[in-house]
A and B are shown apart, each in its own frame.
Chain A
Amino acid sequence: MLKSKDLLGLQYLSAEEIGEILDGAVETKKFLKGDRKSTDVLKGRTLVTLFYENSTRTRTSFELAGKYLGANEVNISVATSSVQKGETLIDTGETLDSLKIDFIAIRHPMAGAPALLAKHVRASVINGGDGMHEHPTQALLDMFTLKEHFGKIRGLKVAIMGDIKHSRVALSNLFGLRKLGAEVYMYAPGTMIPKDIEKLGAHIARSREEAIEGADAVMGLRIQLERMNGGLFPSLGEYAKYYGVNADCFKYAKPDAIILHPGPVNRGVELTPALIDGNSSYILEQVTNGLAVRMSILKLLAEYREKNL
């Protein structure tokens, strides 16, 4: 049983709650493997996706998760909504609430926006990524992928490589993986390491090899071009050379180590094409798992709503 109506970040969840979501995803993944993907678990419920940033996979994943569970599904594209007319997030939330919806999956460029929305609506708010803060459903699908592959998370060593500072994926993974007992190593240019991250239990490596040595999984993070224009690194070529993950450094990982990436990948920058397309890559499996995890979250939040609201 989840302890809150909303899913705002892994820093707010207990290890038990995370475990429950991952266990639930085992069931929903089985269901996804069936040939007719429909059920009426969420029949009569409505999910709105409210995305203030571009997204293909996360948004589609939320939409399909809702549809496969039998929910009504509406997506609000910010470009065509009244946000363009200056409507505040609180007003948008209250309007959606008046439309009697049950779930809002929100993506927003500003940290804390989902928390602000959650305070002002009866609907359950699911954070689909807020600024540099959290992207809990992504981290949960990463953890599900690890658990499915290795049978456990405790004791695994996960190396997260790339723009840690601006990555909500890295932060959510750090919270979640630490809560479930994994070791997290990080490697990035000094310009992309956030202050005091080691106080959250991250090991900041001094080299790619140190980060990857003996790792069970290596996660690449997408590098945003605007970071280069902002002067955080000199060029994509230099980034790929010194900070990208290639076969030479990946061989420091355990022989059965897997490659993860939240996508979309800059081929040849954070990961070499050979790794992306190789046998160790679980990047496409992650996409399927994202669907399973989001279905599990919707089901658990629906249970919470039935019992508590």
Chain B
Amino acid sequence: MKLLIKNGTLVLPEGERKADLLIENGKIVSVADKIDEKCRTLDVSGKYVLPGLIDIHVHLREPGFEGKEDIESGSKAAVKGGFTQICCMPNTNPVCDNAVVAKYILARASEVGLCKVHPIGAITKGEKGETLSDIGKMKSVGVVALSDDGRSVMNSYIMRLAMEYANDFDLKCLCHCEDANLADGGVVNEGYNSTVAGLKGIPRAAEDIMIAREISLSESLGIPVHICHVSTWSGVEIIRSAKARGVKVTAETCPHYFTLTDDIITTYDTFTKVNPPVREQRDVDEIIRGLQDGTIDCIVTDHAPHSLKDKQVEYNSAAFGISGIETSLALGYTYLVKTGKLSISELVALMSGRPAAILGLEGGELKVGASADVTVVDFDKSYVIDGSEFVSKGKNTPFNGYKVNGVVEYTIVDGEIKYSN
């Protein structure tokens, strides 16, 4: 089985290059200026050929919340968004805190057979922050990281034990940073707009304190740690200074944190409700700087699909989360590349090579011998985002009506076309 991708602009580790790319038996076998081969050929002139995108922070909701999303609909959404590998968070029902649930997710993903799905196990049983999950057993079936995403492990002693124990199994803790006492049931960023809207605010400090705590633990134990969805300017500063003194900390952010401010919450549109909350212009600016200078290592979506009934309620009652996997690449291109903040290669590294490196996943580079996970995208093509057209069950996007550039034309996983526009 061969597949030839002709006339595209390849985003290679060494930079962009107009070249052809040949795939055989699921591997990239040749990259050259001109390849002629009698086989299925995709002429992608004018389009970019990227290493398959990798999202290390998504919610697939299965098992337990299939009304919001399931592994099949989430995988379809992922390949439509250009993703060939995704890592799903454990806050399902039952929680993925044991090998049985992790195996179930892997089996379902394999039946669906679209993108590669890697489960993330819970740090603590039931994500309760009290006792460690079956970390070793989960690792043995294929869990790629640990997280109690949706909350912090509030007890610092338990968190220390988790980092030490997880490190024995070469698993990294992906830390949702939120001091629950300080957040105190807040629903939006604390600031001018929370005051005007009368909605309870979450101060930046609720996030920053936990970022600083995870860094302190990492630094004192000498164990790497990863910070989830950074939303504050001050959090970026804390991570930047830690990196400067050699702490093994990595960090991610999401498209909504480099595009949106809390000006959008005053209409009470519950599609804007997300945790951590979208903040202010200063935060957006610093997150972009963090992406530019390497303080923030990768872009994830925190794809958090919800059914409409979870969102068509009062703002306080609505579920937190944005369905983001179908719009991430276009938002990244439109707000970071088109604006001159990053090059295409830099954006692609943030969405493919670097997330792979953080979790030690294979992939993330277009090179001969690598698995043929490839995303073909037309950055010239623009469209207007309309959540009702998402293939994800979660139609909850705050970006309805936004005009963006970047349409995924093909998503190829192990040499097979899993999505074509």
Name A's B-contacting residues (CB within 8 A).
Answer: 11, 88-90, 108, 110-113, 115-116, 130-134, 168, 171, 194-197, 199-200
Contact = CB atoms under 8 A, between A and B. Distances in A.
7 contacts: A88-B313, A90-B313, A112-B198, A116-B315, A133-B197, A171-B196, A195-B201
B199 A112 contact: yes
Contacts of B315: 110-112, 116
Contacts of B312: 88, 90
Contact of A111 (B192, B197, B309): B197
A134 B198 contact: yes
A44 to B, nearest CB: 32
A195 B314 contact: no
B367 interface: no
B268 interface: yes
A112 B201 CA distance: 14
Contacts of A11: 196
Chain B: number of interface residues, binned into ranges: 20 to 34
B281 interface: no
B191 interface: yes
B127 interface: no
Interface in B140-188: none
B194 A195 contact: yes
Contact of A110 (B195, B203, B316): B316
Given A89-B314, A110-B315, A110-B316, A196 B191 contact: yes
Given A89-B314, A132-B200, A195-B201, A112 B192 contact: no
Contacts of B194: 194-195
B313 A131 contact: no
B190 A130 contact: no
B241 interface: no
A10 B106 CA distance: 54
Given A90-B312, A115-B268, 16 more contacts: A11-B196, A88-B313, A90-B313, A111-B197, A112-B197, A112-B199, A116-B314, A131-B198, A131-B316, A132-B199, A194-B194, A195-B192, A195-B201, A196-B192, A197-B195, A200-B196
Contact of B198 (A89, A133, A195, A199): A133
B275 to A, nearest CB: 17
A232 to B, nearest CB: 11
Interface string B199-219: 111010000000000000000
- Which DSSP category, helix, strand, loop or mixed, fits chain A's interface? mixed
A110 B314 contact: yes
A113 B314 contact: yes
B268 A116 contact: yes
B57 to A, nearest CB: 29
Among A111, A130, A131, the most chain B Cβ lie within 10 Å of the Cβ of A111
B25 interface: no
Contacts of A89: 313-314
Contacts of A130: 198
Contact of A112 (B203, B309, B314): B314
A110 B197 contact: no
Contacts of A197: 195
B268 A112 contact: yes
B317 interface: yes
A171 B198 contact: yes
B197 A196 contact: no
A133 B187 CA distance: 14
A262 to B, nearest CB: 16
Contacts of B198: 111-112, 130-134, 168, 171
Nearest to B265: A112
Interface string B311-329: 0111111000000000000
Contacts of A88: 309, 312-313
Contacts of B314: 89, 108, 110, 112-113, 116
Contacts of B196: 11, 171, 200
Nearest to A108: B314
B190 A110 contact: no
A33 to B, nearest CB: 35
B316 A111 contact: yes
The residue among B191, B192, B203 with the most chain A CB atoms within 10 A of its own CB is: B192
Contacts of B191: 195-196
A110 B197 CA distance: 11
A197 B421 CA distance: 49
Nearest to B184: A230
Contacts of B268: 111-112, 115-116
A227 to B, nearest CB: 13
B315 to A, nearest CB: 5
A88 to B, nearest CB: 6
